[in-house]
Amino acid sequence: MSTISTSAIQNLDEVSRKEIMQFVEAEQSKSKVQSSIHNFTDMCFKKCNKDKPITSGSLDGQEEACLRNCLNRFLDTNIKVVEALQGR
C-alpha cells in the first residue's frame, strides 16, 4: 500500500481533505473492529477447545454452546462499556 505525502494532501481543497480524513478514520475503525474480532475469536476458541484435539471440520454441541456463550458475554460487556462511555 502506498502512502500519501503531507504536501499532496495540503494541495487538495478543503472538501477533499475532509473526505480523505473521514475515509482514513473509517478504515482505522474497521481495522480496530477486525482486530477485536480476531482476538475475541482466538480467546473463545482456546477457551472452548482447551486440550481437545480437532477431529472434524465441525463443532460438537458442547463446543458450539461454549462459543455462543463466550460471544454473548463479549457482546454484553462491550455494550455496557459503550453505554458507560456515553454516560447512560
Alpha helices in the chain (DSSP H): 6-10, 14-48, 61-85
Q: The domain spanning residue 25 has which CATH number?
A: 1.10.287.810
| Per-residue pLDDT at 68 | 92
pTM of the model: 0.60
- Whether 55 is in a domain gets the answer yes
- Whether 1 is in a domain gets the answer no
Q: What are the residues whose beta carbons fall under 8 Å from the beta carbon of 66, sequence distance 6 or more?
A: 44, 47, 48
Total domains in the fold of the chain? 1
Residue span of the structural domain in which 78 resides: 6-86
- Whether 49 is in a domain gets the answer yes
- Whether 67 is in a domain gets the answer yes
- Whether 14 is in a domain gets the answer yes
- Whether 74 is in a domain gets the answer yes
* Tens digit of each residue's pLDDT (9 = 90 or more) over 22-77: 998 999 989 988 888 888 889 998 998 887 787 888 888 899 999 999 989 988 88
67-71: which pairs have CB atoms within 8 A and are 24 or more residues apart? 70/43, 70/44, 71/40, 71/44
- Whether 29 is in a domain gets the answer yes
Q: Indicate if the pLDDT at residue 1 is higher than 70.
A: no
Between the alpha carbon of residue 72 and those of residues 1, 8, 76, the distances in Å are 36, 45, 6
